[in-house]
Amino acid sequence: QMTQPFYGEHQSGILNPPPASAALIAFDVLAWDKNELTRLFKILTERCEFLTQGGEPPTTEEKFPPLDSGIVGTYVHPDNLTITLALGDSLFDERFGLAEAKPRHLQPMTRFPNDALDADWCHGDLLLQICANSQETVLHAMRDIIKHTPSLLSVRWRRDGFISNHVAATAGRETPINLLGFKDGTVNPNTRDQAEANRVILVSDQHDEPAWAQGGSYMAVRLIRFFVEQWDRTPLQEQEAVFGRDRESGAPLGMKNEHDIPDYSQDPEGKQVPLDSHMRLANPRTPGFEKHQLLRRAYNYSDAISASGQLDMGLLFICYQADLDAGFITVQKRLNGEPLEEYIKPFGGGYFFALPGVSKPGEYFAQALL
C-alpha cells in the first residue's frame, strides 16, 4: 500500500513513477457559469482528497442508494491512487469568462500527417488521468467522481491502460515494455531533480505564464493504435532500425546497455543509429535541443478487435512539459514521416493543462484561476 500526497504545489500523477493501472477520462463540462464551475472544482477537490488518501466511506439506510459503489470493499485504501486534473482549450471559451487567463500555449490539438483523428475520441473541457496499483481502484475512483458530479460533467471519451506489474513494482527503476515489445521510457527527464522538473516539466517562474498556472504542466495525450499483426511479421532488424534500439537490452544500436548515450557526432551518416529512427528524430542531441524535452508517462491499452477484425491495441501516449510548443509539438513535427508510421495510427487525444496542485486543506482546484 502506498499513498501519494494530495496537497502540494504540483499535482501527483506527473513526477511519481507510474503504477500498474490507469484510465484517461475526458468530460464536457455542463456547468453553465463560473459559480457552477467553482462548485465542480470544490467537489472534485473533496473527492480526490478522500479517494487518494483513503478512509471509510459513509454508509446510509438501505432504502437509499449506497454512497459508495462498494467495489473496493468497506474501506477505501489509497492503493497508490493519483487523480490528475487537466483542462482543455475549450474550457477557456466564452462560457466562463476565462479566456484572458488561458495558459499561453494551450490550443486545440490539430491533425498531424499520419493521424486519422476521430472526433469521438478527441478533446474535452476537462480530463482526468487516474492511476493506481489496481484496476479496481481506478474504476472505483472513476465511478465515485461520476456519481458526485451528475449535473456538472458528461463523459466524452475514456480509455483504460496498463503497464506490466513487475515494472510498476520497481517504482520506475525498470522501464516498461510497450505492446510493440520495446522498452519505452528509457530517456526521460529526471523526475527526482526538482530543478530539472521546474525547467522542463512544470510551469515555474522561468516560464512566461499567468501566475495562477505555476506548478501546472502541459499534457499532450495521443491515443495511438498499433498494427500489431503487421509488426509481428516484421524482421527483428527492421523493428530495431525503426526505433534505433536493440529490442532485448534496450541499448542504442551499436552500444551495450539500455542507458548508454550515443554520440551522434561520431555517427553522422546513421550507420549505427539510423537518421530516421524514432529515437534519433525525437532527440537529435544537437546543441540547443535540450529545451525540447518532455516527460513521457505512457500506458498500454488493449481493447477488443477493430471493425476489420484486427487486434485493437496500442499506446495511451501521455507526456508532460512546461512548454507545449517546445515540447510535444516540436518533437512530433520532427517525427512526422518516420518509418514507425507504417505500424501506428493516432486516432484521438488532445492537449490539456494539468492544474497546479491544491496547496493546503481548505483550498480547491483552480482557485487562483477562478
**Min separation Cβ 230 and ligand HEM, Å:** 13
109 in Cβ contact with 351 (< 8 Å): yes
Answer yes or no: is 198 a known binding residue: no
Taking the least distance from each CB to ligand HEM, the nearer of 184 and 209 is: 184
**Min separation Cβ 329 and ligand HEM, Å:** 8
* 326 is an interface residue for ligand HEM by CB under 6 A: no
Cα–Cα separations (whole angstroms), residue 189 to 4, 68, 74, 114: 20, 39, 39, 27
Name the helix (H) or strand (E) containing 38.
helix 34-53
Answer yes or no: is 285 a known binding residue: yes
Answer yes or no: is 166 a known binding residue: no
Answer yes or no: is 283 a known binding residue: yes
Q: Which stretch in 29-37, 99-107, 330-338, 348-356 sits in contact with ligand HEM by CB under 6 A?
A: 330-338
Work out which of 17, 222, 320, 350 binds ligand HEM, going by CB under 6 A: 222
Distance CA 308, CA 299 (A): 24
Q: Scan for cell 442508494, then name that residue.
A: 65
Distance CA 159, CA 22 (A): 9
300 in Cβ contact with 20 (< 8 Å): no
Scanning residues 162 to 191, which ones bind ligand HEM (CB under 6 A)?
A: 178, 180, 182-187
* 85 is an interface residue for ligand HEM by CB under 6 A: no
Work out which of 45, 115, 332, 348 binds ligand HEM, going by CB under 6 A: 332
* 338 is an interface residue for ligand HEM by CB under 6 A: no
Scanning residues 272 to 311, which ones bind ligand HEM (CB under 6 A)?
A: 278-279, 282-283, 294, 296
Q: Which three cell numbers stand for residue 317?
A: 501516449
Distance CA 276, CA 270 (A): 8
* 351 is an interface residue for ligand HEM by CB under 6 A: no
* 335 is an interface residue for ligand HEM by CB under 6 A: yes
Answer yes or no: is 284 a known binding residue: yes
Instruction: Determine the distance from the C-alpha atom of residue 240 to the mean position of all C-alpha atoms in its chain, rounded to a whole number.
Output: 25
Q: Which three cell numbers stand for residue 119?
A: 472526433
Pattern of binders to ligand HEM over 233-252, x per CB under 6 A?
----------x-x-------
Distance CA 47, CA 127 (A): 15
* 84 is an interface residue for ligand HEM by CB under 6 A: no
Distance CA 283, CA 112 (A): 19
* 114 is an interface residue for ligand HEM by CB under 6 A: no
Q: Scan for cell 475526458, then name that residue.
A: 26
Answer yes or no: is 156 a known binding residue: no
Cβ count within 10 A of residue 92? 20
Say which residues have a Cβ less than 8 Å from residue 58's Cβ, sequence separation at least 6.
67, 68
Q: Which stretch in 18-26, 136-144, 208-216, 326-334 sits in contact with ligand HEM by CB under 6 A?
A: 326-334
Binding residue numbers: 245, 278, 283-285, 296
Which residues of the shown chain bind ligand HEM in the complex (CB under 6 A)?
A: 178, 180, 182-187, 222, 224, 243, 245, 278-279, 282-283, 294, 296, 315, 317, 328, 331-332, 335, 344
Binding-site residues for heme b, please? 278, 283-285, 296
